Amino acid sequence: MGDLLLRGIDDALKVELQESARRNGRSLSDEAIVQIRSALKREQRQDGQTAGQRLRAVLSDMKFEDDELNAIDAFRKQPDRLPPDFK
């Protein structure tokens, strides 16, 4: 197994990584490895897809009826409304 030396880590990032390691019960090195792996997997999953493409992939088994699609389209075309006033 190889070693990796990271230079130029700002103090805030180092503290954040240390806190994450403490919360997860890992050493600083182990936490860095987990975080790097997680980021790389996330990047591979997205592989240039738009948010809509990712959403379609998640909802691929769902089939919408025409009236549902028309309602969604009508809602999207409505003018912006003011937020409710809870006074």
pLDDT digits (tens, 9 = 90+) for 16-26: 999 999 999 99
Task: Please tell me the pTM assigned to this model.
Answer: 0.52
The C-alpha atoms of residue 79 and residue 39 are separated, in whole angstroms, by 38
- Amino acid 46: pLDDT: 64
pLDDT of residue 31 exceeding 90, the answer is yes
What one-character DSSP code corresponds to residue 78? Answer: S
Per-residue pLDDT band for 80 (boundaries 50, 70, 90) equals confident
**Chain centre distance of CA 79:** 29
Of 70, 61, 60, 1, give the one whose Cα is nearest residue 30: 1
> What's the whole-number mean pLDDT along residues 53-70?
78
Q: Let me know: does 34 contact 21? Beta carbons within 8 Å.
A: no
